[in-house]
Structure 1
């Protein structure tokens, strides 16, 4: 007797068919989902930084390092070159104006001084000889003048007497004419002698003036040479502390070479290095502050050095009010240099997100805290702690401020705890 065989509803072929259809549906659904622009990524909350947007006081500032320097520094350079022969003091010594610091030896300079002294003495000797000769010549001329004057007086006496006698017919014409000629001759001699004496006086005076001028020049040169030799002893130009001394006995120093410096201890300033990017925004009067011994002190820019070296420039800052007790030359201060006044602003803490977004967008956390989605924003000013939010966020919003390096082009993050 034949038996009816029941057909199985879930055979292998049917199961495989259903599984294939289901897989195809899932594949199509996933494709549609991921191509819709809502790409998602699961992230561990413990590996990210979530910050809250807040409104608070904002001031644009940059952190800079400053070195405490004396208010006034006088540099010591070798006015004349030479070998270091002797050191009178060591680095760090307290100096008074005029105190000797070190002595240089320069044989050539000292020999030049000796030669110059010899030349001056030779000129002085020659001047004395010339002066004596001029005086003797003048005396000779005066003696001649005296003889001429005496001859004129005698010729005048005889001429007047003979003239009277000739008028009285006591002597002849020949004797009268002879006395008259003798008188006129003595008159001419007197005029010539006076002219010679006058020229001699002018010549002597001119020669004496030239000699005196030459002697004065020689003396000035000698004084200069003595000063150059005297400069071989380096002395403190002002009261202060000797620092940065760079000279050892036996060491050769060239003319103009730096030997050290004198720090005038009447006060301090702070020398600050700043990146050249900020040069257009730095000017006299900008303020900064720093912490020292658990207190905050203020500084103000007093001078801007616009010369840029290795991408940086320098400014001098002065202490406002009392200088901190215990501060020392060469000490480094960490300064907050303000670039703007303090204002109220919406703030987002700084983080690694900026490197990938450029401040154009950020991941904003949903209200339930389960996901974060991409939001366009606009940032303004910044300081080392915050960015100023201009658009896209409001106080109370929460955002991811850690790095987005591994997120790629994800539009949404699923936050897993």
Structure 2
């Protein structure tokens, strides 16, 4: 009985193993049924031809037409700061004053030295004139005349040196009051009354804002459309109703080492100082005639390690292809290489897809 019982157990196990193997065989014969349950749900779009406008929007940044760094030519203590950040100033307007007591004392010493050397020079010059008269009358020798002349020239040199020292002292007294080198607006002020400053240290800047530069970076392929003096339209969100117009003023002859783009400056008249350095603006750059290009919705483009890809639909499966992307065209992106018109592309779950994955599309 025990042997029969054991035999029945063995037969049961054998039947179970055969059943499992049979089920796996049936599953292997029908893989689509299981995969169909694991298909990734996606929506689709098609690669379409659309018009790329001749005017391309680019982002730009406002810079002052000139930016003058203000510093002191010598060290000293600030006695009076006359301006504040954002204040408009004229060329030659005083900005701040340094303590000039020692400078004025030096100027007085220099003036006294000028007076002394001048008196000495005047005396020696008169003596030389008398020597010339006596020499002509035979009362002075040639040697005596030359000695008088040498004495006069030496005193003249002392007098000239004293005048130069006085001029330097006068210049330093004048420079104790630092003035604006140009018309503009005060920025980056780092100065207070009583502060000790060092010669050459930056204390503020004067930004020329009656005209400004709008700076943009242009790709190499678009450089052919640019030339000096081109008219450019500019807008910014801060003043939605204002329209600004400028002209290409500077085109860098060298591309940036990292970006490989060219820096272009557009000069814009700014009489009301509405445009301020650091503002972001939109520039409408003329790139020639409109043309037809291929484009896909932006969400269809997948970027990985600096490369661009699209997922296309082929026989119910996702196929990844490499493409080259161009400019942004509203909600679409230009495809310059790798796609054809009418090609179906996938829009959803791109980060979850792999090449060859089965996908489930909705109604198109």
- The TM-score, its normalising length taken from structure 1, stands at 0.63
State whether residues 95 and 236 of structure 1, in contact with CA within 8 Å, keep that contact through their aligned partners in structure 2.
Answer: yes
Output one character per residue of 1:127-170: Cα deviation in whole Å (capped at 9) or x when no partner: 2443455466567667xx4xxxxxxxxxxxxxxxxxxxxxxxxx
Q: 1:364 aligns with which of 307, 313, 324?
A: 313
1:99 corresponds in structure 2 to 93
Q: What's the CA shift for 1:96? A: 3.4
Q: Secondary structure at the match of 1:57?
A: strand
Give the greater-gyration-radius structure (CA). Answer: 1
Q: What's the CA shift for 1:365? A: 7.0
Please give the residue correspondences for 1:121-270 in structure 2 after superposition, counting only pairs within 5 Å: 121-131=115-125, 133-134=127-128, 145=137, 193=138, 196-270=140-214
2:328 corresponds in structure 1 to 383
Q: Distance in 2 between matches of 1:381 and 1:56?
A: 13
Unaligned runs of 5+ in 1: 1-11, 146-192
State whether residues 353 and 403 of structure 1, in contact with CA within 8 Å, keep that contact through their aligned partners in structure 2.
Answer: no
1:82 corresponds in structure 2 to 76
Unaligned runs of 5+ in 2: 1-11
State whether residues 55 and 346 of structure 1, in contact with CA within 8 Å, keep that contact through their aligned partners in structure 2.
Answer: yes
Output one character per residue of 1:397-416: Cα deviation in whole Å (capped at 9) or x when no partner: 43113452222343431236
Q: Distance in 1 between matches of 2:234 and 2:27?
A: 62
Alpha carbon RMSD of aligned pairs, Å?
4.5
Question: Relative to 1, partners in 2 of residues 1:95 and 1:383: Cα closer, same or farther, differing over 3 Å?
Answer: same
Question: Relative to 1, partners in 2 of residues 1:266 and 1:350: Cα closer, same or farther, differing over 3 Å?
Answer: same
- The TM-score, its normalising length taken from structure 2, stands at 0.71
Question: Relative to 1, partners in 2 of residues 1:314 and 1:91: Cα closer, same or farther, differing over 3 Å?
Answer: farther
1:354 corresponds in structure 2 to 302
Q: Distance in 1 between matches of 2:16 and 2:261?
A: 77
1:56 corresponds in structure 2 to 50
Please give the residue correspondences for 1:27-38 in structure 2 after superposition, counting only pairs within 5 Å: 27-30=27-30
Question: Relative to 1, partners in 2 of residues 1:230 and 1:319: Cα closer, same or farther, differing over 3 Å?
Answer: closer
Please give the residue correspondences for 1:234-313 in structure 2 after superposition, counting only pairs within 5 Å: 234-272=178-216, 274=217, 285=227, 290-292=234-236, 293=240, 301-304=248-251
Q: What's the CA shift for 1:112? A: 3.8
Q: 1:44 aligns with which of 41, 45, 49?
A: 41
The answer to which structure, 1 or 2, has the higher relative contact order (CA under 8 A, 6+ apart) is: 1
Q: Distance in 1 between matches of 2:164 and 2:272?
A: 51
Q: Secondary structure at the match of 1:257?
A: coil
1:343 corresponds in structure 2 to 291
Q: Distance in 2 between matches of 1:383 and 1:345?
A: 12
Question: Relative to 1, partners in 2 of residues 1:315 and 1:382: Cα closer, same or farther, differing over 3 Å?
Answer: closer
Question: Relative to 1, partners in 2 of residues 1:330 and 1:132: Cα closer, same or farther, differing over 3 Å?
Answer: closer
State whether residues 41 and 359 of structure 2, in contact with CA within 8 Å, keep that contact through their aligned partners in structure 1.
Answer: no
Q: Distance in 2 between matches of 1:96 and 1:133?
A: 53
Q: Distance in 2 between matches of 1:140 and 1:326?
A: 75
State whether residues 303 and 316 of structure 1, in contact with CA within 8 Å, keep that contact through their aligned partners in structure 2.
Answer: yes
Q: What's the CA shift for 1:242? A: 3.5
Aligned residues: 339
Q: What's the CA shift for 1:83? A: 1.0
Q: 1:398 aligns with which of 344, 355, 360?
A: 344
Matched, 1:412 2:358: yes
Tell me which protein shows more helix as a share of its residues: 1
Q: Distance in 2 between matches of 1:373 and 1:87?
A: 70
Q: Secondary structure at the match of 1:355?
A: strand
2:265 corresponds in structure 1 to 317
